[in-house]
Amino acid sequence: MDLYPFFDWLDTSMLADISKAHGGVFAVVQMFHLLGMSILGGMVLVGDLRLLNVVMRDTPSEIVIENTHKWFSIGLATMIISGIFLSSAVSLKLYYNEMFWAKMSALAVGIAFFYLVRRPLLSVPHEGIKPGLLKLMALTSIAIWFTVAASGRWIGFS
């Protein structure tokens, strides 16, 4: 599936008119992108560090995990919406950027892992889950989101 038409359309869209012409708007949207990243990262870290028994050990992990889900989704939605706007400024350049596609792949894996594996599995009492698997999932989740963020930053340098 070639997504070139989408990037070509984005390059000439109204979003691109704004993002290319107004550096101030771009910077403010980037702030939302980074705040979304912080919310998502905070929720992921609190949940995963709890599964690894690093933080909040006196609060049941079910309660910690359950509380992170809503704001994870809000952070993710903020990032995707702001991310589309940000990419409109350089969409054709991104299409040919390897790091961008690395980030998109990691993002797709992260979303699938979160909604299809981590959340359904952790919705039952955690004592029924092998402790080793809880820790393995926490490490996987941290590794995925670190990769998404790091490869995202690297787009700007590559």
Partner 1 sequence: MKSEAERQSSSSHKPRQVIATVVCVIVLASLAWFWSEQVKEVIEMLELAYGDGA
Partner 2 sequence: MLNEWLLSLARFLDAQNWSTQIHESIYLYAWIETTHVLTLMVFLGMLFVIDLRMLGLAFSNVRASTIAERLDKPMMIGLVLMVITGVLLYFAIPVRTTQSLWFRIKVVLIVFAAVNAFAFRARMQASVSTWDTDPTPPRHIRMGAAASILLWAGVVVTGRTIAYDWFDCHKELPYAIYWAAGCVDEMAAFASE
As a whole number of Å, the end-to-end CA separation of the chain is 25
Give CA–CA dist 31/20, Å, rounded: 16
Give CA–CA dist 22/20, Å, rounded: 6
Q: Considering only residues 125 through 154, tell me which ones interact with partner 1, judged by CB under 8 A.
A: 128-130, 133, 136-137, 139-140, 143-144, 147
Give CA–CA dist 92/4, Å, rounded: 8
Among 37, 51, 65, 144, binds partner 2 (CB under 8 A): 37
Among 109, 111, 115, 119, binds partner 1 (CB under 8 A): 109
From partner 2, partner 1, none, which one binds at residue 102 (CB under 5 to 8 Å depending on kind)?
partner 1
User: To which residue do tokens 């000439």 refer?
Assistant: 12
Binding site for partner 2 (CB under 8 A): 23-24, 27-28, 30-31, 34-35, 37-46, 49, 55-56, 58-59, 63-64, 67, 70-71, 145-146, 149-150, 153-154, 157
